[in-house]
């Protein structure tokens, strides 16, 4: 069970995980040792999965983002498993979600331009196993980028 201090710690770490234990402790009103202990518990319990740097796709040359809806030939366990295994193996697939609705999966990819996306589409997305239908949406503008879960008690 998480308390208010745990949620404050999570919020601070999502904002900037490079803060020192002392800085986080000062902001939540705990000693460095108590803060370290709480963070260790949050890590052990899997609430904190890992720490990572968030990169700027535009500065890396990925000027365009696409959401790709993929429908499969069937929804059998073997077909889903084969598709997921192949999608996981492709670094070009930034995110992949099994969904309800008109498509089976929603995939997020990025590319420098439409010509690069066309190659990605032909060589990678269409080549994934059991693909029956693909529909792509180009992101015209990112209004809000995901920065983490709301770290507050429910």
- Across 65-94, average pLDDT: 98
- Across 116-121, average pLDDT: 98
The answer for residues whose C-beta is within 8 angstroms of residue 103's C-beta and 6 or more apart is: 69, 70, 71, 133, 135
- Across 5-25, average pLDDT: 96
Stretch(es) of the chain classified as CATH 1.10.10.10: 4-44
Q: How big, in percent rounded to 5, are the helix, strand and coil portions of the chain?
A: 35, 20, 45
pLDDT exceeds 80 at position 9: yes
The answer for residues whose C-beta is within 8 angstroms of residue 10's C-beta and 6 or more apart is: 2, 42, 47, 48, 149, 151
Q: How confident is the model at residue 138 (pLDDT cuts 50, 70, 90)?
A: very high
Stretch(es) of the chain classified as CATH 3.30.70.920: 64-138
Reported as a single tens digit per residue, the pLDDT across 22-64 is 999 999 999 999 999 999 999 999 999 999 999 999 999 999 9
Mean pLDDT (the chain) is 96
- Across 106-130, average pLDDT: 98
The topology under which CATH files domain 4-44 is: Arc Repressor Mutant, subunit A (1.10.10)
With H, G, I as helix, E, B as strand and everything else as coil, classify residue 150: coil
By DSSP bridging, strand 95-98 and strand 105-111 are antiparallel
| CATH tag, 64-138 | 3.30.70.920
* pLDDT score, position 151: 78
pLDDT exceeds 70 at position 153: no
For the purposes of burial, counting CB atoms within 10 Å of the CB of 24, is it exposed (0-12), middle (13-18) or buried (19 or more)? buried
DSSP 125: I
Q: Cα–Cα distance between 99 and 151 in angstroms, integer?
A: 25
**Taking the model in full, what pTM does it have?**
0.88
């Amino acid at each position: 069970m998480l308390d208010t201090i745990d949620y404050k710690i999570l919020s601070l770490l999502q904002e900037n995980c490079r803060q020192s234990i002392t800085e986080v402790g000062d902001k939540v009103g705990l000693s460095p040792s108590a803060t370290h202990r709480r963070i260790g518990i949050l890590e052990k319990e899997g609430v904190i999965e890992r720490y990572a740097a968030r990169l700027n796709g535009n500065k890396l040359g990925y000027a365009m983002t696409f959401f790709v809806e993929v429908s499969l030939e069937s929804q059998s366990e073997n077909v889903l498993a084969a598709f997921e295994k192949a999608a996981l193996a492709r670094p070009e697939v930034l995110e992949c979600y099994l969904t309800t609705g008109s498509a089976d999966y929603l995939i997020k990819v990025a590319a420098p331009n439409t010509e690069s996306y066309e190659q990605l589409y032909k060589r990678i997305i269409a080549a994934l196993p059991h693909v029956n239908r693909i529909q792509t949406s180009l992101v015209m503008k990112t209004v809000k980028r995901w920065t983490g879960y709301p770290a507050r008690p429910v």
